[in-house]
Structures are given as structure tokens and as C-alpha cells.
Amino acid sequence: MMDALDKELLKAVSGLEQIPKGAYNIRKNGKLLTRNVSANIDIESLEGSRGIRVIIKPGTKNESVHIPVILTEAGLYDVVFNEFIVGDDCDVTIVAGCGIHCGSSESEGHEGVHQFNVGKNSRMKYVEKHYATGDGTGKRILNPTTKVFLEEGARAEMELAQIGGVDDTKRVNEAELEANSMLLITEHVLTERDQQAVSSNTIMLNGAGSRANMVSRSVIKGSSRQIFNALMEARAKCFGHIECDAIIMDNGINETVPALKALHPDAELTHEASIGKIADEQLLKLMCLGMSYDDAVNTIIQGFLK
Amino acid sequence: MLDLHNLSFMSDGRQIINDLSFTFQKGKFYAITGPNGSGKTTLSKLIMGIHKATTGNIVFAGKDITNYTVTERAKAGIAYAFQHPARFKGLTLRDLLNIALGKDHKADMRDIVEKIGICSFEFLDKPVDSKLSGGEIKKIEMATTIALNPKIVIYDEPDTGIDLWTIDPMVNLLKKEQTEKGTTTIVISHNRTFLEAADTVILIKSGKIAYQGDTRGALPLLSDLSICNQNCKVHENDGCFR
Ligand SMILES: Nc1ncnc2c1ncn2[C@@H]1O[C@H](COP(=O)(O)OP(=O)(O)O)[C@@H](O)[C@H]1O
Ligand SMILES: [Mg+2]
């Protein structure tokens, strides 16, 4: 059912050596490969294998759902829409990701929209990894979108990573926060050669007491380009922070535009942004600990993207 | 064990280290002091290979290391704890200690952390970043340097940002490392406790050694303001803060 390549891709995007425990849905080349539901987590197909709807019962605690996507078919461009309905008072982890193996001159791609509704006082951790491999000359394209709606008192932690091999990516993250909800998004993107990545983020702080923190870490190798846009808009007494750091390694190009908009007098919004090479003092410190220059560079980058 | 022969360092047409020669003896404790801007940090960076000497050469344990890289000097057993330690994004104290201790090490990191007076082991997994206080980053810098178990070590103003109560334990720790492991120890400091702990005090002024000898001999010079090389008086009668 799953061959060695499927397993390699699965491991890269979800850290799984084999079929996960609990609820899961594995999609391969645009079709359902295998699925499991649990007592508290139901997964149903949307019309026309367009995607899935994951329904998590209120009060579900310490459970997880894995929904990896793997692509190995030349020339396929898979588009999927997945919806997650997390009931009130839950504490769940959702692990998504897309692994592409491109073995021909034809491009392959995946466009996934993940929409979340996180119920009152629920906690959700969402982990999404993107990875591409293969020695084909076709382009590997990934365009992930997340749309998060946090109800009162909900907390979401989202870890988004794209750590290699993707030629072209347009990432979109949108979030809306109701009263006393909290959102932490960390996005780590590494591009190399002539790859391109654009990340566009919009976070709306609608409710009083809502808090959002967006952390972006970019590494731009070779002659790749990255563009990072983030807008945080406050419509109540709330707190928001954007932190974006980009390290340019070779001849890369980066554009970082954090934007803050306060439509309420008690909003507190801050941002920190930096673009630059690896600091000499960091390299020198590691070299003083006995590391070679190249190992020091790798260690700093790995730490930065960890 | 470390010989500096006629070291000079020029930067932007300025002579920062001026024909300086000195021999550090194995296992001894040295204190280097001198006014701000006199060249103490520059001298340390020449020894570590961070700066390249304009002229002169450096011999360590019988080998000419003048052309060694920083990494090669570190591997040979030379260590430098920075005056202004680097702050990272993402790397933790545990990561840095793992690098310093080398692979397959069996050392207990908690021993090192405890030695240095970092009271909570949580520190091991905290990022070594700009959120740390000045004192904390200096302690971390010292911990990673001790973990190298160097043959010769320079601590560049290890006491800045350190509270008064921690100075004595810090001096004791470095003395203990020196006596138990035979580490040749050089501390750059203006603190009397360090000067008194040293076998030899070196006073640097305008990139040259102005005094070398025991602490007693150095003290009158330290209170003599003429060693200050910065003519910072605004008015005739203004005293100098130093
Ligand atoms: N890389 C450099 N390039 C140019 N000038 C420097 C450099 N590093 C230090 N200096 C200058 O050299 C002098 C000595 O500095 P430093 O060695 O840091 O003194 P100290 O550590 O004794 O306070 C100062 O005037 C300083 O401004
Ligand atoms: Mg200095």
C-alpha cells in the first residue's frame, strides 16, 4: 500500500515512521490512501474528493490528527480544501504536511487551504511541514493557506515550516481572534538556488483581551528570494507582536514588511524586523569553541530554524 | 608557554598595539588592567586569532601559531571569553556546551552550570539571546569557556554586570581551575579582587606594557591618573573619574 518513497515523504513531513495512532487521513496523488477515525475525532470527505472535514467533539483532550499529503505523480497539481472544526474545551494537536517527490521534467504541485474553527476555551496545536525531493527537473510548487478563527478564550499555536526543495511557494495565513483568545504563529522558511517564497499574513485582533504573536524566520541561500508581509490589525484592547528575522547567505533577496494598524485606542502593537548576514560575533564565538567556519554557519542556521 | 614577539596592530592608520612582547608562563595567573581603549581587548583578539597582527609573531607551546586560524588556535587549547559575548537566535546554553565539550563527551552539564553560579538548570535550554541580562550572558560565556578545558585562557572583563556577591566566588572558581588543572589564566579586569589574586599584574597603556610585576607594585600606578591616555578634561580643574 505504501512504498519506500511514500514512507520517506511521510517521515519528512510528519515525523512518522509508520501509520500513526489515533485519527489520520493520508492523501496520495489527489486521492484518499487510508483513513482512521476515533471515538472523538471524525473525518468525512467533502464532495468530489475535494478535501476533508475533521470534526473534533467538544471536550476532546490530548488527542491528535495526522493529515499528510504525498505527491509522486509527474505533472499532477493537487488542490485540496480541508476544514477543521474543533469543539469547545478541547486540547488537540493537528499535524499536516506535504511531501513532493519530483522525478521527471514535469512540475508537481499542491495547493492546500486549511480552515480552522477553534471553539471556546480550546487549545489547538497545528504543525505543518513542507518538503520536496527527487532529481527531476520539474518545478515543485507548494501553495499552502491557513485560515484560523479563534472563538472566545481559544488558544492556537501554529508551527509552519518549509525547509527545503520547494521551488515556488505562495503562503497565506489569515487569522481572526475573538475576546481573550491567543495565537502564536511561527513560520520557518529556507530557500536556496533560484527558489522563491512569498508569505502573506493577516491577523485581525477583533476581541478584547486577544493576543497574537507572529514569529518569522527566513534563511535565504543561493540566489533565492523571499518576501514576507504581515499585517496585524487591532479592533479592540489587545496585544500584538510581529517578529521577523531574515538571514541572507549568498546573493539572496529579501523583502520584509511588517505592518501594524490600531483601530482602537487601547491596542498595543509592536514589531521587530531584521535582515542581514550571519553576525560575525556569532561565527567567531563558535570558532572559539573549536568549530570550523562552515560548521559554525550550519549550526547557527539550524539553531535559527529550530 | 605563550610568547608574544614584537606584536603590533594597526587599524585605520592608528597604532593600537605597539611593539608588545611578553611571555606567559604555564599555570600562572595573570591580571591585565589599564584604561579603556588602551588595547586590552585588541591584544586578546590578536592572541585568539580574531585579529591578525600587523607585525610580530606568536609562539604557543613551542609552535609558531601566527598564521593559525581561530579554529586552529581553539583546538590547540587557547580560549577567549568575550568582553561582549555573542547573542544568538535559537541556540541554547546546552547547544553551546555540547560544542565546547566535543562529541561523545560524558561531562555532566549541570556540574558546569552549578560551578558558574547559574542557580537554575532551566537555563540550559533557554536560548542564549538578547533577553538575557548582562550578568547572565557573562556567566554563560564563562561556562562555555571553562567547558573547553583550555590550556591557556583569557577572560575579558568577566566581572562586568556581575553583582558584588558573585565576584569572590568567580575569582575562587578561576583560581581553582588554575591550580587544579594547571590552566594558564589571564583575566582582564579593573577589579581589585582579581588583581590581588594574580601572580603577575600587567598594566597596558596606549598599546604597550606600562608595568608588569606583583600587585603591590601596581597599586600606586593604578591610583596615578597619569596612566589615563584619554585627555577628557573639559575644564582645567575637572578631575578624572578614573
Ligand atoms: N577593529 C577595530 N578597528 C579599529 N579600531 C579598533 C578596533 N577595535 C578596537 N579599536 C580601537 O582600538 C583601541 C583599543 O580598543 P580595545 O582593545 O577594545 O581597548 P580596551 O579593551 O583596552 O578597552 C580603541 O581606541 C578602539 O576604539
Ligand atoms: Mg576591552
Which residue in the set B71, B80, B86 is minimally distant from A290, CB to CB?
A: B71
Residue A126's nearest CA partner among A156, A168, A83, A87 is A156
Cell numbers for A74? 509527474
- Which of B16, B159, B231 maximizes ligand 1 atoms within 8 Å of its Cβ, making it the mutation to test the pocket? B16
Residue B155's nearest CA partner among B40, B21, B3 is B40
Pocket of ligand 1 (CB under 6 A): B 11-12, 16, 34, 36-42
CB B45 within 8 A of CB B82: no
Vertex A301: Cα angle to A296 and A304 (nearest 5): 125
Query: How many whole angstroms separate alpha carbon B196 and alpha carbon B142?
Result: 20
What is the band of B144 on the pLDDT scale with cuts at 50, 70, 90? very high
- Give A203 or B190, the one with higher predicted confidence: A203
In angstroms, the Cα distances linking A23 to A34, A88, B197 are 11, 19, 65
Query: Closest Cα to atom 24, ligand 1: which residue?
Result: B37
Residues of B in contact with A292 (CB under 8 A): 71
Tell which of B94, B99, B151 to mutate to test the A interface (max A CBs under 10 Å): B99
The CA B135 to ligand 2 mean position distance, Å, reads: 16
Strand partners of residue A255: A227
Q: Does A291 touch chain B (CB under 8 A)?
A: yes
Which residue in the set B82, B95, B100 is minimally distant from A303, CB to CB?
A: B95
Q: What is the structure's pLDDT at B149?
A: 94
What's the one-letter identity of residue A215? V
pLDDT for A291 beyond 90: yes
CATH of domain B2-238: 3.40.50.300
Q: What is the CA radius of gyration of chain A?
A: 20
Domain boundaries, chain B: 2-238
Query: How many whole angstroms separate alpha carbon A136 and alpha carbon A101?
Result: 8
Is A286's CB within 8 Å of B99's CB?
A: yes
The CA B174 to ligand 1 mean position distance, Å, reads: 26
CB A191 within 8 A of CB A163: no
Query: How many whole angstroms separate alpha carbon A239 and alpha carbon A49?
Result: 40
Q: What is the structure's pLDDT at B74?
A: 97
Residues of B with a Cβ under 8 Å from any A Cβ are 48, 50, 69-71, 74-75, 79-80, 82, 84-86, 88-92, 95-96, 99-100, 102, 144, 148
Which residue in the set B70, B79, B95 is minimally distant from A284, CB to CB?
A: B70
pLDDT tens for A272-281 read 999 999 999 9
Q: What is the structure's pLDDT at A157?
A: 97
Which residues of chain A from 259 to 288 reach within 8 Å of chain B, CB to CB? 279, 281-282, 284-288
Q: What is the structure's pLDDT at A100?
A: 83
The CA B16 to ligand 1 mean position distance, Å, reads: 7
Is B89's CB within 8 Å of A304's CB?
A: yes
Residues of A in contact with B144 (CB under 8 A): 289
- Which of B42, B159, B206 maximizes ligand 1 atoms within 8 Å of its Cβ, making it the mutation to test the pocket? B42
CB B197 within 8 A of CB B171: yes
Q: What is the structure's pLDDT at A232?
A: 98
Q: What is the structure's pLDDT at A22?
A: 83
DSSP string covering A191-205: E-TT-EEEEEEEEEE
Work out the mean pLDDT of chain A and round it to a whole number: 92
The CA B191 to ligand 2 mean position distance, Å, reads: 14
Residue A27 has phi, psi (to 5 degrees) of -110, 130
Q: What is the structure's pLDDT at A18?
A: 66
What's the one-letter identity of residue A125? K
Is A290's CB within 8 Å of B50's CB?
A: no
Query: How many whole angstroms separate alpha carbon A226 and alpha carbon A51?
Result: 29
The pTM of this model reads 0.86
**Pairing between strand B200-205 and B14-24?**
unpaired
What is the band of B231 on the pLDDT scale with cuts at 50, 70, 90? low
pLDDT for A92 beyond 70: yes
pLDDT for A99 beyond 80: yes
Other C-beta atoms lying within 10 Å of the C-beta of residue A86: 29
Which residue in the set B50, B90, B96 is minimally distant from A289, CB to CB?
A: B96
Q: What is the structure's pLDDT at B224?
A: 59
pLDDT for B240 beyond 50: no
- Across residues A67-75, what is the average pLDDT? 87
- Across residues A183-193, what is the average pLDDT? 95
Q: What is the structure's pLDDT at B216?
A: 83
What is the band of A126 on the pLDDT scale with cuts at 50, 70, 90? very high
Residues, CB within 5 angstroms of ligand 2 (ion): B 40-41, 83
Q: What is the structure's pLDDT at B65?
A: 97
Query: Closest Cα to atom 13, ligand 1: which residue?
Result: B37
Q: What is the structure's pLDDT at A7?
A: 80
The CA B41 to ligand 1 mean position distance, Å, reads: 7
- Across residues A51-67, what is the average pLDDT? 95
- Across residues B187-216, what is the average pLDDT? 92
DSSP string covering chain B: -EEEEEEEEEETTEEEEEEEEEEEPTT-EEEEE--TTSSHHHHHHHHHTSS--SEEEEEETTEE-TT--HHHHHHHTEEEE-SS----SS-BHHHHHHHHH-TT----HHHHHHHTT---GGGGGSB-STTS-HHHHHHHHHHHHHHT--SEEEEESTTTT--HHHHHHHHHHHHHHHHHH--EEEEE---HHHHHH-SEEEEEETTEEEEEE-HHHHHHHHH-GGG------SSTTPPP--
Is B70's CB within 8 Å of A303's CB?
A: no
Residues of B in contact with A304 (CB under 8 A): 89-90
pLDDT tens for B55-104 read 999 999 999 999 999 999 999 999 999 999 999 999 999 999 999 998 77
Domain boundaries, chain A: 4-305
pLDDT for B114 beyond 70: yes
pLDDT for B228 beyond 60: no
Q: What is the structure's pLDDT at A1?
A: 66
Which residue in the set A217, A281, A303 is minimally distant from B91, CB to CB?
A: A303
Cα of A306 to nearest chain B Cα, Å: 7
pLDDT for A189 beyond 90: yes
What is the band of B225 on the pLDDT scale with cuts at 50, 70, 90? very low
**Pairing between strand B200-205 and B208-213?**
antiparallel
The CA B147 to ligand 1 mean position distance, Å, reads: 28
pLDDT for B139 beyond 50: yes
CB A32 within 8 A of CB A69: no
Q: Residue B45 CA: which ligand 1 atom is closest?
A: 17
- Give B194 or B241, the one with higher predicted confidence: B194
DSSP string covering B58-103: EEETTEE-TT--HHHHHHHTEEEE-SS----SS-BHHHHHHHHH-T
- Across residues A45-60, what is the average pLDDT? 91
Query: How many whole angstroms separate alpha carbon B192 and alpha carbon B160?
Result: 13
What is the band of B218 on the pLDDT scale with cuts at 50, 70, 90? confident
Q: What is the structure's pLDDT at B223?
A: 67
The CA A285 to ligand 2 mean position distance, Å, reads: 16
pLDDT tens for B48-66 read 999 999 999 999 999 999 9
Cell numbers for B192? 581589585
- Across residues A196-207, what is the average pLDDT? 97
